Structure 1
């Protein structure tokens, strides 16, 4: 095999035509080990979701050997409701095992990031299936998540007022369609990194628009919490995995989605979930690292993290625009920040002036107080990853006091929320 072919130069990277979407989807799902055969019906089912999205394929002749999908989508950033950033949402990234280490991913991702930069999009983000890959392209792990497991029953000792005014209704998935989307959008707006869910997400996840071969009747039980005015204030979706042996139950209740507009509504949902009969443990996924559940319990050790991982990776494309878009905490003051970017997209040196919760970044030639690579700044941007931790790992340099001050300014509470909803 020639060196030209070994380095993927005969592989063409380009936009996918409509008549190539079946091969593109088949390649993507095959690499992700999807067990079902992809049919034209699957493509037709996905096409409405692909409207406005960019489908890129790597073609070796007529064979699809790489896939890539992206679209512009808002993402909440620190600062509370009203603070959001238009981002380049990256998904469906695959390279066939037969064509790896030929630079195919590099060609797809760098072209997409450069195009986003040219469109004026200040940041990109993705969920990384393989953590070592994306740091090479300037992404940093910005949103963490955890799985909590609770031994049931687990009585709550701390009930935020006015929990007594919250009414919890037992419903089915389909019953959530009218009220859950607006409630989720309102809750997500206050949590950095919470991905807004498109309308199609709700139709599919609630079983109202099943894909080919999927059963529309396979719906999960759900809870809907209402406040004293009758307005929807919280939602929980779950399923149970029941097991019996010798007339003894060993049942897990798995919560797949839980969000609430108020602490009282969230506590009321937990109060119900942790008291369901013949349930021995409650397992809840995709929780923020500052989830209040353990603090609600009479015995906080009954809720233990059994798994934690990075969730969302971000990549700044325009440092001044991204920094200006978010809110800031911490001490006011100035700092000269130098950012290195191996791809040449977002590097530079700026004087950051923090005043009244906002930052103005102006290009400067002054000596830097803090310097870092673009991946480190991207990891710290949403306020969860401390800059001082990155400094301890050698990824941020500068005088200790200057690094600590900028780290405090970037921090944000509440922390990020690892909720997804893309299609």
Structure 2
């Protein structure tokens, strides 16, 4: 392809899954997927063994446009400990890679769902259109039910790939570039940053991880960050090919409660133009539990001496960050894109797990070519909880499982997708009921730390 999902994978711990005896597609037979050109050679899709890792690493590195080093295979071996790695092998040559782990996805209402998280997915350019991605994905999705994973998630680098596998864009992100000189934030005024203090990496790791645990239970789309994730964020371990440069760490403590309610991690580069400081600052991570914390941390990074531009990537699409500036237009949107993609594997479990803005009842007929979510389901839900069971009642709304995924966290509307012919209204007024039920006060967001240069798009 290459197909790039999430390059940062240390926050996705899992246990090794045993190979299912039901996976007949693993047999060493020519395979042609839906619309694919059948392979003329034998390609084996299977779980990766330790001996496969050097060859698997070579293929993954090529797909991600990286030159493997002498220790690349060792880094990958460490990253795959406890993970589920799958490879497509033509004789002894790896021509496809795939990795998944178990995560926890926060849904509207604060519940978490076990999720199968995909990463490190590639198919060699010489072996495209042979159904290899589908075979690797099918193998993992069939095993996901046994692992208790109700949904699958990924960060899709390309929009056109995953819709045909039942995934839909479920949450978006915005990237901002802030012109400090236009922001109208008085650097001499310090009252608006009271409570912000710089801390060491060790202090940050403890305080920020505690804040994030409180935060993720309130934010639909948020994922768990484990100890390995925080080790990497604070330099205790480094990712493959990275050159660690110590960032700056700061936290915000509420004056009224004495609790740490937010944190920020950023880097800055000294730069001058015509004897004037012109330094860029990159916010790598910023999480706030309340508006006061977000305001103080946002205005703090804008006030850092010598900084002329603040890059603020990976933000919620409805973030309040620009509004904390004297002139919100100083925060220019440099990118706005779908980011987290979702695939629902267990429809009744997923729809029962979240809450709904208003009480209501809907009969949803779900179309799923792969069969996981196929069926007609009666959803009764409201602010206090929900139930979802099979039913023989006539459908109120007919939609594909990919459309349901796009709606599940509240980032789209039934009426909008119906206009795009992705949804059919069988009962008059059902779309309005569905929109009222699935609506969320704020848009879903799956926070990511900025670890790559693409966090600063032009």
State the TM-score, normalized to the length of structure 1: 0.90
Cα RMSD (Å) = 2.5
Displacement of 1:413 in angstroms is 2.4
Once residues 201 and 91 of structure 2 are traced to their aligned partners in structure 1, the CA distance between those partners, rounded to angstroms, is: 45
Displacement of 1:123 in angstroms is 0.7
Select 2:306's aligned residue among 253, 275, 278: 278
Per-residue displacement from partner, 1:336-394 (whole Å, max 9, x unpaired)?
A: 11000011111110122224532222211221111100000011101112222211111
Q: Which runs of 5+ in 1 are unaligned?
A: 158-162
Once residues 344 and 224 of structure 1 are traced to their aligned partners in structure 2, the CA distance between those partners, rounded to angstroms, is: 47
1:61 equivalenced with 2:91 (yes/no): yes
Residues 335-374 of structure 1: pairs in structure 2 closer than 5 A:
335-374=362-401
Corresponding residue of 2:11 = none
Select 1:377's aligned residue among 404, 407, 413: 404
1:290 equivalenced with 2:318 (yes/no): yes
Once residues 105 and 292 of structure 2 are traced to their aligned partners in structure 1, the CA distance between those partners, rounded to angstroms, is: 26
1:152 equivalenced with 2:180 (yes/no): yes
8 A contact 1:254–1:283 mirrored in 2: yes
Displacement of 1:174 in angstroms is 4.6
SS at match of 2:322: helix
8 A contact 1:195–1:420 mirrored in 2: no
Displacement of 1:196 in angstroms is 1.2
Q: 1:213 to 1:14 in 2, by over 3 A?
A: closer
1:7 equivalenced with 2:53 (yes/no): no
1:132 equivalenced with 2:163 (yes/no): no
Corresponding residue of 2:436 = 408
8 A contact 2:247–2:267 mirrored in 1: yes
Per-residue displacement from partner, 1:277-334 (whole Å, max 9, x unpaired)?
A: 222221100000110112222222122212111110000011110001111113x222
Q: 1:72 to 1:26 in 2, by over 3 A?
A: same
8 A contact 1:197–1:422 mirrored in 2: no
Q: 1:164 to 1:354 in 2, by over 3 A?
A: same
8 A contact 1:139–1:313 mirrored in 2: yes
Displacement of 1:230 in angstroms is 4.3
Corresponding residue of 1:257 = 285
Displacement of 1:247 in angstroms is 1.7
Q: Which runs of 5+ in 2 are unaligned?
A: 1-29, 452-458
Displacement of 1:250 in angstroms is 3.1
8 A contact 1:166–1:265 mirrored in 2: no
The aligned length equals: 411
Displacement of 1:52 in angstroms is 2.7
8 A contact 1:156–1:296 mirrored in 2: no
Displacement of 1:134 in angstroms is 0.3
Corresponding residue of 2:48 = 16
8 A contact 1:373–1:396 mirrored in 2: yes
SS at match of 1:148: strand
Corresponding residue of 1:160 = none
Displacement of 1:51 in angstroms is 3.0
8 A contact 2:84–2:101 mirrored in 1: yes
Displacement of 1:42 in angstroms is 3.5
Residues 205-220 of structure 1: pairs in structure 2 closer than 5 A:
205-211=233-239, 214-216=242-244, 218-220=245-247
Shifted more, 304-313 versus 134-143: the winner is 304-313
Q: 1:243 to 1:292 in 2, by over 3 A?
A: same
Once residues 120 and 237 of structure 1 are traced to their aligned partners in structure 2, the CA distance between those partners, rounded to angstroms, is: 35
SS at match of 2:238: coil
Q: 1:72 to 1:101 in 2, by over 3 A?
A: same
Q: Which aligned runs of 4 or more in structure 1 are off by greater than 6 angstroms?
A: none
Select 2:149's aligned residue among 93, 113, 121: 121
Displacement of 1:48 in angstroms is 4.4
Q: 1:274 to 1:356 in 2, by over 3 A?
A: closer
Corresponding residue of 1:301 = 329
8 A contact 1:201–1:421 mirrored in 2: no
Select 1:37's aligned residue among 68, 73, 91: 68
Shifted more, 311-320 versus 218-227: the winner is 218-227
Q: 1:247 to 1:165 in 2, by over 3 A?
A: closer
Q: 1:194 to 1:345 in 2, by over 3 A?
A: same
Select 2:105's aligned residue among 75, 82, 86: 75
8 A contact 2:355–2:382 mirrored in 1: no
Q: 1:19 to 1:38 in 2, by over 3 A?
A: farther
8 A contact 1:26–1:38 mirrored in 2: no
